Chain A
Amino acid sequence: MTHLALKNVSKHFGDFTAVSDFNLDVKKGEFVSFLGPSGCGKTTTLRMIAGFEIPSSGSISIDGADITNKAPSQRNVGMVFQSYALFPNMTVAQNIGFGLRIRKEKEADVAERVKEMLSIIHLENKADSYPYQLSGGQMQRVALARALAIRPEVLLLDEPLSALDAKIRISLRAEIRSIQQKLGITAIYVTHDQEEALSLSDRIVVMRDGEMDQVGTPFQIYNFPTTVFVANFVGTLNNASAEVVDPAKGVISIDGVHFESAVDLKDRKKGDKVRVAIRPERFNFVSQEKKANIVDCKIENITFLGSIVRIQIMIGNSKFYMDTFNNPFLELPKIGDKDQVTCSREAVLVLDE
């Protein structure tokens, strides 16, 4: 059942269109991420849901009730900011209880709810600390508790982890996800970090220049990108321009090197220009195993990335990356060697140029 719905939502700032024709239905308890590069309109869309911006056109509703023009304070929507935005003059407990006291809840109920929230974020012993006495990760957990304390309809998070360092980012990310699932709360999460979006979300909305490029599960977005932009933005992706050789058999050619693809090419004609995308991890050396496509290549460069080794290869005149898992027995080729690589038909994605 649809909980939060955005219908044909657009936002203009003067002549500039920040968001155009945004449509999204979010189910109760769903975790949806807005993913996209800087300036693509993620924050603006989130702020329209929160009520800090009014859409230029379109409507937003929660449980069927229109909230497009409602004041932010009347929406019962929780918000977590990148900069934490804790009230510096209040203790942790007062921060968490703020929204409840605004709602004039009984002092005993407030105290109980604050205690409950503190235990959820594992900061029971910091109840009387002031924000400046906490670490960044702790502050963001308090901000999360403060937003959740009011039992919001929707929880909105705008890059909540980007001010934190890598280790905390990963642990807090897992914590946010588990709290969200435990409370069954609907969440919208804004990020430009694809790994964050992939690991957290039930669904991802990939945005570009104020428009929705693709909406889907992390699995769909990663494995079956429908546009070159999504393919490039999510994960590392090789892409090169190619030409359709045989639409019936799904054969395309990159600078004369033929690939077979599992993608249906019936709608295309021989000679059509297309873009071919192949994920680095889908390539193997022929010496390891053999798949449908076997092509010649030249080793250009080798980069050691820890658990994986990234090898840059040249197929025809196009550069590709190829990832192999690192292990102590790995026999790496030498730069300048000629070799053969292989990939399956399914690995070869054909997108519009």
Chain B
Amino acid sequence: MNIFSRIRRIPFWSWIWFILGALYFILPLYATVNFSLRMERGVIGFKAYAKAFEDPEFIRTFLYSNALALTTIIVSIILIVPTAYWIRLRLPEARRIVEFITLLPFVVPAIILVFGLIRIYSSPINIPFTDTTLLQPLTTFEVGTDILIVAGYVVLGLPYMYRSVDTGMRTVDVRTLTEAAQSLGASWFTIIVRVILPNIRAALLSGALLTFAIVVGEVTLASFLGVPAFGPYLFLLGQHRAYEPAALSFASFLLTWVVMGLIQLFTGGQEQIAGAH
């Protein structure tokens, strides 16, 4: 009843634009799904999905990329939460500079970032002004490249993570909450863990999700650093196979939406709290 009367109140042209927009997004998706279901001639079925998921290389790269994403998210949080917090609290002048830095990944392409990383870290790391080698070139061993790629991903995810966290902090007035906690005797650690983090949970989750999506699909950094990640795997697969990449694309699309739904579910109450002010 209510919904119908509400729908009728939306003007005609809004509907046209809405439908056009929806088609623009849904048609390619539909085409992908449709295609992915037709691996066997004349039969609609999930063969492409079964084949794609069976490939041990898929499992390996997918797990590896997930691990990378998780590490990236943790490192980002450890790096960005205290930074954004301190800027809100004590260094509002620094906000412009930091915002500019976080936007750099939009200006500097990933390919430049990866060549920069390789150029600098393919030589050994010395103690400054001496010839004593502290660490072998990071590009020459596995853990080294893992460190490099996570560092690169932290940079790529910076715009999303920083902005989410900063927005989250704006909605809860961290400055006054901090002072309230301080006057009650709380230490810095307690304040961050028990007051700040729980109140920006929703923002952290959305930042984490975006970072996750970027890392799992990323190709440039992964292929140039030569790590066995999911992005390059999907890319390669696309060059040799027809149906499986379509199936995997749709599957990862679905996964993203499920995660988004879960986040919405878990943080619904949280946003209500923030929204109450």
Contacts and interface: CB of A to CB of B under 8 A. Distances in A.
B183 A50 contact: yes
Which interface residue of B181, B198, B201 has the most chain A CB atoms within 10 A?
B181
A98 interface: yes
B186 interface: yes
B183 A72 contact: yes
Contacts of A89: 195, 198-199, 201, 270, 273
B274 to A, nearest CB: 7
A87 B195 contact: yes
B173 A73 contact: no
Interface string B173-185: 1001101111111
Given A72-B182, A77-B183, A103-B185, A87 B273 contact: no
B107 interface: no
Contacts of B181: 87, 98
A19 interface: no
Interface in A49-100: 50-52, 71-79, 81, 83, 85-89, 98-99
A47 B198 CA distance: 26
A83 B183 contact: no
Contact of A146 (B173, B184, B199, B272): B184
Contacts of B273: 88-89, 130-132
B190 A102 contact: yes
Q: What bracket does the count of chain B residues touching chain A fall in? A: 20 to 34
Nearest to B270: A89
A2 B190 CA distance: 34
Contacts of B195: 87, 89
A150 interface: yes
Contacts of B184: 73, 98-99, 102, 146-147, 150
B31 interface: no
A98 B182 CA distance: 11
Contacts of A132: 272-273, 276-277
A102 B176 contact: no
B185 A76 contact: yes
A85 B182 CA distance: 12
Contacts, number: 76
Interface residues of A, number: 31
Contact of B180 (A74, A76, A85, A130): A85
Interface string B197-216: 01101000000000000000
Q: Tell me the dominant secondary structure on chain B's binding face.
A: helix
Which interface residue of B180, B182, B187, B277 has the most chain A CB atoms within 10 A?
B180
B37 interface: no
Contact of B185 (A73, A130, A131): A73
A132 B183 CA distance: 22
A143 B274 CA distance: 18
A83 B185 contact: no
A85 B274 contact: no
Contact of A85 (B177, B185, B186, B270): B177
A86 B187 CA distance: 17
A53 to B, nearest CB: 11
Interface string B263-277: 000000010111011
Nearest to B198: A89
B183 to A, nearest CB: 4
B58 to A, nearest CB: 40
Contact of A79 (B183, B201, B270, B272): B183
Contacts of B172: 88
A104 B235 CA distance: 56
Nearest to B276: A132
15 contacts: A74-B185, A75-B183, A81-B180, A83-B173, A85-B179, A88-B172, A88-B273, A89-B195, A99-B185, A102-B185, A131-B276, A132-B273, A146-B180, A147-B183, A150-B184
Given A76-B185, A146-B180, 8 more contacts: A50-B183, A51-B183, A72-B183, A78-B183, A85-B179, A87-B177, A89-B201, A98-B181
